[in-house]
Structure 1
Amino acid sequence: MQINADLTQPAIVDSAALDWVASPIAGVERRMLERDGGEIARATSLVRYAPHSAFSAHRHDAGEEFLVLDGVFSDETGDFPRGYYVRNPPGSSHTPASEPGATILVKLRQMPPAETHSLRIDTTKPTLWHSNTDGSSTALLFTAPWEQVDLLRLPAHYTGPAETYTNGAEFFIIEGSLIINDTQHPAATWLRYPAGSTITLTTRRDTLLYRKTGHLMAEAG
């Protein structure tokens, strides 16, 4: 299966307009944003766990990254409520579940072998956030030679500078809405821009974004 699999092309998906698709496990559904492969695939998805659901134990040979958007996600390492950011490196395994239900933004099979450490960050902690001179604030979640991940809060009526992303950029609108290069996108929109893209971010209301940069040049090559 291929969905937005060409990383040299831009991709924009309003995930709220997609149907939930059943996974092989009852009570776990997905909205597929990008995918290259079958059931084992390089993928970016929204995954929804029904209350009292669990997924079978499995291994992540090329890693897993996710942000909890709603509810509480759990595995052997703990319980992760809304706002938690988690990275499980290549070779890790777990048995995920959710007692109250949960929705996560998850990226699978997108880590290099050089990534070897697990990461759990509560992004709601005020000490994680740093104010910028333009009125925005950022929370750095992960940085390495192959990519950087952060959350970005933009105030209402914000217009940033035009920024060229040499090795590409990816966004997910968690709250609010975003105007990129004169086109408005609602909450729950996922956007991917290839290497060399120039992007201007504008808002009409307070907006919270997931942002990943620097990762598309190597993957696209």
Structure 2
Amino acid sequence: MLINADFSLAAARAPEDYQWVNSPQNGVERVMLDRVGEEKARATSIVRYAPDSYFPPHLHPGGEEILVLSGTFSADDKDYPAGWYLRNPPKSGHKPYSREGAVIFVKLWQMSEDEDQQVAIDTQNKANWQPQGERQVCPLFSNDNEQVSLQRLNADKALFTTEIIGGAELLVTEGELIDAGQIYKRGSWIRLPVGAFPKLNAGAKGVTFYLKTGHLAQIESLDSKNF
């Protein structure tokens, strides 16, 4: 299965265009944003857990990255309400579930094999935020391959002021982003290729967004036989 699998091209999905499909587990649905492979895949998705739904215990050979968007996501008897960022390195495993229901942003099989850092950050905690110029930033993860953060930008401010060297991926979590009249509301996902220089600006009430940069420079070629 190939969905937005040409990483040299920009891709986007607005919440009004979500197409929910059932996962192999009852009560769990997902929106496939990009994907290379079948059930075992390099994948970026929005995943929705119905109340009292779960996945059996399983491993993630290529690692897993999660941002909890709403509700409460749980794993191995630990609860993570909306705003938590989780990063489970390659070969780690867990038993995920949700008692009340949850929506999460998930990236699978997108970490280097030598990554061994487990991360759990509450982005709702003000102590995890810091000013950087005209924006507020909550650092989430950084290594030689990628930089991940949650950022807040005031109204009408430009998101990027230079070319994106290693590509970028965004998910709007509050407010709006605007690009030449195109409005990206909460829940909008955008992937920008290496070398792009988009004219994205915060909307009239500002914007909060997940941002990953650098990672697309590592992708030279992907096809379904890799997974």
Q: How does 1:27-46 map to 2 (within 5 A)?
A: 27-46=27-46
Match of 2:142 in 1: 143
The alignment-based identity, stated in percent, is 43
Check the 8 A contact 1:163/1:200 in 2, yes or no: no
Q: 1:123-134 residue pairs with structure 2 within 5 A?
A: 123-134=123-134
Map residues 95-174 of structure 1 onto 2, 5 A cutoff: 95-134=95-134, 136-160=135-159, 162-174=161-173
C-alpha spacing 1:5/1:130, structure 2 compared with 1 (3 Å) = same
SS in structure 2 of the partner of residue 7 of structure 1: coil
Deviation string for 1:102-144 (max 9, x for gaps)?
A: 000000000001211211000111111112332x211111000
TM (normalized to structure 1)?
Answer: 0.95
Partner Cα separation in structure 1 for residue 158 and residue 181 of structure 2 = 11
Structure 1 200/64 Cα, relative in aligned 2: closer, same or farther at 3 Å?
A: same
Equivalent residue for 2:224?
none
Q: How far apart are 1:199 and its partner, in Å?
A: 2.6
Counterpart of 2:142, as a letter, is T
1 CA distance for matches of 2:168 and 2:180? Answer: 14
Letter in 2 for 1:64: E
Partners in 1 of 2:77 and 2:64 — Cα distance?
A: 14
What residue identity is the alignment partner of 1:115? E
Contact 1:15 1:31 in 2 (8 A): no
Query: Hey, what does 1:53 align to over in structure 2?
Result: 53
- Tell me if structure 1 keeps the 8 A contact 2:160–2:197: no
CA contact (8 A) 1:151 1:208 kept: yes
Q: Does 1:206 align with 2:188?
A: no
Q: Which amino acid aligns with 2:147?
A: Q
State the alpha-carbon separation in 1 of the partners of residues 157 and 194 from structure 2.
24
Q: Is the 8 A contact 1:62 1:91 kept in 2?
A: yes
In the TM superposition, residue 205 of structure 1 has moved relative to its aligned partner by 1.7
How much does 1:17 deviate? 1.7
Greater alpha carbon shift after TM alignment, 60-69 vs 161-170: 161-170
Question: 1:62 maps to what in 2?
Answer: 62
Taking structure 2 as the reference length, what is the TM-score of the superposition? Answer: 0.92
Instruction: Compare 61-70 and 192-201 and name the one that shifted more.
Output: 192-201
Match of 1:76 in 2: 76
Distance 1:75 1:144 in 2: 25
CA distance in 2, matches of 1:141, 1:16: 28
Task: State whether residues 153 and 159 of structure 2, in contact with CA within 8 Å, keep that contact through their aligned partners in structure 1.
Answer: no
User: Aligned AA for 2:133?
Assistant: T
Give the SS at the match of 2:163.
strand
Q: By how many angstroms is 1:181 displaced? A: 5.2
What is the alpha-carbon root mean square deviation over aligned residues?
1.4
Which runs of structure 1 show a deviation greater than 4 angstroms over 4 or more consecutive aligned residues?
A: none
**Structure 1: runs of 5+ lacking an equivalent:** none
| Whole-Å separation in 2 of the counterparts to 1:71 and 1:160 | 28
1:1-50 Cα shifts (integer Å, max 9, x gaps): 11001111111111332221110100000011001100111000000000
Aligned-pair CA distance for 1:77: 5.8
Partners of 2:59 and 2:159 in 1: CA distance = 40
Q: Report the CA distance shift for 1:48/1:161 in structure 2 as closer, same or farther (over 3 A).
A: closer
